[in-house]
């Protein structure tokens, strides 16, 4: 017979487990129902996307990058396209930027509604799952109406977007948004009043403001801990600079707070979509970009529904990129999970993992470390890297010198 | 806090029509610009092979069959229905349709050849 | 003798209760689906599932104790079917009724939970072990209020025999109103016994896969699922018999139909309850049972004792 340790029980949650929709390994040490330790093992779904990008042209990469994530496919492709456009120094037409913003927000709506359903399922509230996903169909249909498909919209291309949005479509979108707004108000009511939901969510998976900063949490996970950080607001891309919206934060620090942030962000998204449709200028949707992208490199940031998504593209002047690096938001949040599950119950595990809205397959990248002695020149010290980044931003027109001095003074005064 | 907050909504559903789509018993309407199965118009093709170059999965092959005559072989198993080829084609020789029911038991039948006569393409026979 | 065999094997025993149990599962799932604005399964779905499971291979884990692993589901099934024989279905009498059978019924209803525990424990799977421990932990929480509220009704009827309780409440139908709190409590406790949301903690899918049933497959799983279905019918029938046993004094067929309808009503209530709540954590569940349900059940007991003094 199997003989476990006398007082500790180690159970595998994943790589195949009903709580996880994707393969990921969590080894949980239990004492009774209490979690004593957690080991996270990433990398079950490494697909070699970054390497594959290097072997394809920029246009082919668009569709590959879009498939990094099934839920936030527009986020990844926009992020990539922004980086390439920066290297090629292309002026993207205003109308295209607005359409990108619109699709991005519709995507956020569908992603957050999806999350709401998943969260309901993880706490055994299947009715919430069914209703949230039924209503999600409205936004899926809108996305299909505009882009042609429910997922992997194929909207972005280098220099603009591929499809225009007509008057009728805009009206349909507004109609759908109105229904969704009503429904979202209802879900806010449910989330804040239903006893069993509050019982299961509040006080679970706590991560304090300091820890959220220290562990580098991003997106709604960080915002629920009071970290006022949103790329859309702090470093506006696409048309966000011309749109007014609030960054939703919460101070609950727990899964309940994350739920509130997400449902309230839905309401913000509806406002953004309405503004987009109102302000959208006429004009072309595409600037022609040569197939060969000039030599250069760029990083691009995008606020995906799950948090900050970072793409780095390096071009060598050919039709194919030299290097593409993707940092999916889940990678930033996964470290926080371990922290959140400290001294919690096994029953909290699924919802705490789900609360960062994980997208494990998007996260998996492989890094091989070569012997540092061999290629000393390639490795930068922390200080050198910092100086380099300051110089780099200076070239972009952003000067950090003053900010750094302020910070230094502040630290010294302490 | 109120336990059973959803009870009103839930009870209302009893008399409502279910939201389930009864596919395949009822047909699904596709959006007008849906990207389904590709079709090829051989008379418009000039053989520039831009579509082949841009296809992310290498699903499309253009073969020269005669003087200014081309045929396209599309592997529907490889195609990811992004319609980049439709965008790339300068002569609009490629077009998307709303056809989604493309499942086949035989992988060979997924390869579809478009040449002179046929509009919808000919499925490859099992060798 | 033949009459006894007939009632054990065919009606209302094994065959009838199995078919009725599977139908009840379909009914429960259909109601659940319609409440969630879905279509739900077709009527033959549960039967098809059952037959499919019977045709599948039985896999017993190497490290499991094959005897206990195999026997547990059969014990569970046998005990729930036995309970059904003691519940009056179409007239105010049963085959083996005796004074005190309500106690036996309640204890027989506990056997499946213990059998699940044993089956889960001896299958040695990690998930099954956690599930089976949760099974038993939960048992101590819901069983007390369930017993108290059912026995409170029995106290008012002044009998430990189900048949006598049924006769009492059909004679004095208004007395049922006194037991409303008890009915509510036993309905919620029954959710715990049947391991349905919010008390589906022992088989919480997203936490411990299928709990005690994780390693079961094939025929044994079919038996386990049948057991749960029959448990649902039996539990509901018990509640109907104790709290509102109307219609049993009518003509046998009408009485039977009315009784079945009442059972269906209780099952529908159970479905509704499990639709509108989330799953609780085991500590919250135990807190809830001891903090709210037990005091209410004690209140019901005291109420019935006082009423008995006044009314009789």
CB contact C1 to A (< 8 Å)? no
| A126 domain residue, yes or no | yes
**pTM tops 0.90:** no
- List CB contacts of C5: < 8 A, sequence separation 6 or more: none
Confidence band of B121 (pLDDT split at 50, 70, 90): low
Which chain C residue lies closest to A3 (C-alpha atoms)?
Answer: C124
Query: Pick from A296, A289, A291, A290: which is nearest to A316 by CA?
Result: A296
- Give the mean model confidence (pLDDT) for residues A236-249: 86
Which residues of chain A are within 8 Å of residue C271 when distances are taken between CB atoms?
Answer: none
Percentage above 90 pLDDT, chain C: 20
**pLDDT of A373 higher than 70:** no
Confidence band of C245 (pLDDT split at 50, 70, 90): confident
Touching A: which chains, 3+ CB pairs < 8 A? B, C
Q: Are residues A276 and A395 in the same domain?
A: no
Q: Are residues A329 and A398 in the same domain?
A: no
pLDDT confidence of residue A206: 87
For residue range C153-201, list pLDDT tens digits in order: 888 888 888 888 888 888 888 888 888 888 999 999 998 888 888 888 8
- Cα dihedral sign, B40-A157-A274-A190: positive
Confidence band of A40 (pLDDT split at 50, 70, 90): confident
Q: Are residues A389 and A240 in the same domain?
A: no
Query: Pick from A117, A113, A116: which is nearest to A142 by CA?
Result: A113
**pLDDT of A2 higher than 60:** no
For residue range A156-199, list pLDDT tens digits in order: 888 888 888 888 888 989 999 999 999 999 998 888 888 888 88
- DSSP summary character for residue C202: G
**C-alpha–C-alpha distance, residues C160 and C103, integer Å:** 7
**pLDDT of C211 higher than 90:** no
**pLDDT of A369 higher than 70:** no
Among B5, B55, B85, most A C-beta atoms within 10 A, so best to mutate, is B5
Which residues of chain A are within 8 Å of residue B55 when distances are taken between CB atoms?
Answer: 60
| A4 domain residue, yes or no | no
- Compute φ and ψ for A321, nearest 5 degrees: -70, 150
- List CB contacts of B56: < 8 A, sequence separation 6 or more: A56, A59, A60, A61, A62, A63, A64, B80, B82, B84
Q: Are residues A388 and A341 in the same domain?
A: no
pLDDT confidence of residue A374: 58
Q: Are residues A281 and A163 in the same domain?
A: yes
Which residues of chain B are within 8 Å of residue C35 when distances are taken between CB atoms?
Answer: 10-11, 13-14
**C-alpha–C-alpha distance, residues A297 and A291, integer Å:** 16
Contact C207 A134 (CB under 8 A): no
pLDDT confidence of residue A391: 84
A61 membership: H or E segment, kind and range: helix A58-66
pLDDT confidence of residue B105: 86
- Which CATH number does the domain housing residue A299 bear? 1.10.645.10
Contact A149 B34 (CB under 8 A): yes
pLDDT confidence of residue C265: 92
Mark out chain B residues that contact chain C at CB-CB < 8 A.
3-7, 10-11, 13-14, 16, 18-20, 22
Q: Are residues A129 and A188 in the same domain?
A: yes
pLDDT confidence of residue C202: 85
A163 with B33: CB under 8 angstroms?
A: yes
Total count of domains within chain A: 2
The position carrying tokens 């949707």 is: A285
Higher-pLDDT residue of C207 and C47 is C47
Q: Are residues A406 and A265 in the same domain?
A: no
- Cα dihedral sign, A50-A52-A56-A61: negative
**pLDDT of A1 higher than 50:** no
Annotate B24-63 with b (16+ C-beta within 10 A) or e (fewer). eeeeeebbebbbbbbbbebeebeeeebbebbbbeebbbbe
What is the pLDDT of chain C when averaged over all its residues?
Answer: 87
**pLDDT of A8 higher than 70:** no
**C-alpha–C-alpha distance, residues B76 and B73, integer Å:** 9
Q: Are residues A300 and A387 in the same domain?
A: no
Q: Are residues A224 and A158 in the same domain?
A: yes
- DSSP summary character for residue C285: H
Among C207, C215, C271, C277, most A C-beta atoms within 10 A, so best to mutate, is C207
Contact B54 A60 (CB under 8 A): yes
**pLDDT of C12 higher than 80:** no
Q: What is the DSSP string of A199-246?
A: HHHTTSS---HHHHHHTT--HHHHHTTT----HHHHS--TTGGG---P
- Give the mean model confidence (pLDDT) for residues A395-409: 79
Contact C276 B4 (CB under 8 A): yes
Q: Are residues A390 and A341 in the same domain?
A: no
| A100 domain residue, yes or no | yes
Q: Are residues A385 and A315 in the same domain?
A: no
| A3 domain residue, yes or no | no
| A7 domain residue, yes or no | no
The interface residues of chain C toward chain B in range 30-59, judged by CB-CB distance below 8 A, are 33-40
- Give the mean model confidence (pLDDT) for residues C225-238: 91
Q: Are residues A404 and A338 in the same domain?
A: no
- List CB contacts of C131: < 8 A, sequence separation 6 or more: C120, C202, C203, C208, C210, C211, C212, C213, C214
What is the pLDDT of chain A when averaged over all its residues?
Answer: 85
What is the pLDDT of chain B when averaged over all its residues?
Answer: 82
A310 with A300: CB under 8 angstroms?
A: yes
pLDDT confidence of residue A367: 65
**C-alpha–C-alpha distance, residues B100 and B106, integer Å:** 17
| A296 domain residue, yes or no | yes
| A24 domain residue, yes or no | no
| A33 domain residue, yes or no | no
CB contact C284 to B (< 8 Å)? no
**C-alpha–C-alpha distance, residues B95 and B89, integer Å:** 10
ipTM of the prediction: 0.88
Which residues of chain B are within 8 Å of residue A190 when distances are taken between CB atoms?
Answer: 5-6
- Give the mean model confidence (pLDDT) for residues B83-93: 87
- Give the mean model confidence (pLDDT) for residues B23-51: 84
pLDDT confidence of residue B120: 64
Which residues of chain A are within 8 Å of residue B9 when distances are taken between CB atoms?
Answer: 131, 186
**C-alpha–C-alpha distance, residues A47 and A23, integer Å:** 13
**pLDDT of B123 higher than 80:** no
Which of A122, A130, A199 lies nearest to residue C36, judging by beta carbons? Answer: A130
**C-alpha–C-alpha distance, residues C18 and C22, integer Å:** 6
Residue numbers of the domain that contains A190: 49-363
pLDDT confidence of residue C28: 92
Contact C206 A2 (CB under 8 A): no
C223 with C98: CB under 8 angstroms?
A: no
**Residue A86, both tokens:** 């920066």
**C-alpha–C-alpha distance, residues C28 and C197, integer Å:** 13
Which of C34, C39, C277 lies nearest to residue B4, judging by beta carbons? Answer: C277
- Alpha-carbon torsion, ordered A227, A230, A231, A237, to 10 deg: -160
DSSP reduced 3-state for B48 = coil
pLDDT confidence of residue A339: 84
């Amino acid at each position: 017979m199997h003989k476990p340790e006398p007082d500790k029980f180690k159970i595998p949650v994943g790589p195949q487990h009903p709580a996880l929709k994707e393969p990921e390994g969590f080894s949980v040490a239990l004492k009774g129902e209490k979690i004593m330790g957690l080991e996270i093992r990433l990398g079950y779904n490494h697909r070699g996307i970054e390497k594959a990008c290097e072997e394809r042209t920029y246009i082919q990469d668009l569709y590959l990058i879009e498939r990094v994530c099934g839920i936030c496919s527009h986020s990844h492709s926009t992020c990539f396209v922004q980086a390439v456009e920066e290297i090629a120094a292309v002026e993207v037409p205003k109308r295209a930027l607005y359409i990108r913003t619109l699709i991005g927000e519709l995507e956020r709506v569908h992603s957050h509604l999806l999350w709401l359903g998943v969260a309901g399922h993880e706490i055994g509230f299947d009715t919430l799952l069914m209703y949230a996903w039924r209503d999600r169909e409205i936004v899926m249909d809108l996305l299909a109406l505009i882009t042609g498909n429910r997922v992997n919209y194929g909207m972005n291309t280098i220099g603009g977007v591929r499809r225009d949005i007509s008057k009728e479509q805009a009206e349909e979108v507004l109609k759908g948004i109105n229904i969704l707004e009503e429904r979202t108000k209802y879900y806010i009511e449910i989330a804040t009043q239903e006893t069993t939901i509050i019982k299961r969510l509040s006080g679970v998976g706590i991560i304090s403001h300091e820890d959220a900063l220290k562990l580098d949490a991003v997106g709604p996970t960080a915002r629920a801990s009071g970290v006022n950080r949103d790329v859309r607001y702090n470093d506006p891309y696409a048309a966000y600079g011309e749109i007014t919206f609030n960054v939703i934060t919460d101070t609950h620090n727990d899964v309940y707070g994350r739920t509130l942030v997400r449902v309230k962000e839905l309401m913000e998204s509806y406002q953004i979509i309405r503004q987009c449709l109102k302000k959208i200028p006429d004009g072309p949707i595409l600037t022609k970009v040569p197939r060969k992208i000039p030599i250069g490199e760029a990083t691009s940031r995008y606020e995906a529904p799950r948090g900050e998504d970072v793409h780095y593209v390096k071009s060598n002047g050919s039709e194919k990129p030299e290097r593409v690096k993707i940092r999916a938001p889940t990678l930033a949040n996964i470290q926080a999970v371990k922290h959140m599950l400290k001294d919690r119950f096994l029953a909290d595990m699924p919802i705490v993992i789900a609360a960062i809205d994980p997208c494990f397959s998007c996260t998996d990248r492989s890094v091989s470390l070569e012997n540092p002695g061999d290629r000393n020149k390639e490795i930068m010290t922390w200080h050198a890297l910092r100086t380099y980044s300051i110089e780099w931003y200076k070239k972009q027109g952003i000067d950090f010198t003053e900010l750094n001095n302020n910070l230094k003074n502040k630290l010294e005064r302490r | 806090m109120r336990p059973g907050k959803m009870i009103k909504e839930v009870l209302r559903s009893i008399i409502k029509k279910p939201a389930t789509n009864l596919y395949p018993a009822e047909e699904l309407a596709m959006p007008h610009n849906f990207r389904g199965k590709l079709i090829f118009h051989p008379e418009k093709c000039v053989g520039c092979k831009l579509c082949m170059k841009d296809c992310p999965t290498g699903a499309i092959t253009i073969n020269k069959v005669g003087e200014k005559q081309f045929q396209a072989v599309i592997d529907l198993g490889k195609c990811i229905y992004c319609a980049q080829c439709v965008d790339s084609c300068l002569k609009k020789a490629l077009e998307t349709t709303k056809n989604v029911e493309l499942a086949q038991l035989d992988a060979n039948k997924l390869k579809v050849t478009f040449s002179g006569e046929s509009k919808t393409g000919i499925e490859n026979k099992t060798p | 003798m033949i009459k006894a065999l007939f009632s054990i094997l065919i009606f209302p025993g094994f065959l009838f209760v199995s078919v009725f149990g599977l139908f009840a599962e379909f009914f429960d799932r259909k109601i659940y689906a319609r409440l969630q604005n879905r279509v739900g399964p077709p009527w033959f779905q549960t039967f098809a599932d059952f037959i499919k499971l019977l045709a599948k291979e039985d896999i017993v884990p190497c490290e499991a104790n094959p005897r206990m692993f195999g026997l547990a589901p059969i014990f569970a099934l046998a005990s729930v079917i036995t309970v059904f024989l003691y519940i009056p279905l179409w007239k105010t009498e049963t085959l083996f009724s005796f004074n005190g059978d309500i106690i036996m019924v309640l204890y027989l209803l506990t056997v499946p939970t213990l059998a699940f525990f044993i089956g889960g424990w001896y299958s040695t799977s990690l998930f099954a072990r956690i599930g089976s421990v949760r099974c038993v932990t939960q048992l101590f929480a819901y069983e007390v209020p369930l017993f108290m509220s059912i026995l409170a009704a029995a106290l008012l009827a002044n009998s430990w025999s189900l048949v006598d309780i049924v006769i009492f409440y059909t004679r004095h139908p208004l007395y049922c109103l006194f037991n409303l709190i008890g009915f509510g409590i036993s309905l919620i406790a029954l959710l715990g016994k049947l391991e349905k949301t919010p008390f589906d903690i022992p088989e919480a899918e997203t936490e411990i896969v299928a709990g005690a049933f994780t390693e079961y497959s094939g025929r044994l799983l079919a038996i386990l699922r049948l057991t749960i279905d029959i448990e649902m019918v039996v539990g509901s029938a018990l509640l109907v018999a104790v709290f509102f046993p109307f219609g049993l004094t009518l003509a046998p067929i009408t009485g039977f139909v009315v009784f079945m309808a009442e059972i269906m009503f209780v099952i529908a209530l159970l479905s509704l309850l499990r639709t509108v709540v989330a799953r609780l954590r085991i500590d919250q569940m135990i807190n809830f049972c001891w903090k709210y349900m037990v005091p209410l059940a004690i209140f019901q007991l005291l109420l019935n004792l006082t009423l008995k003094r006044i009314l009789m």
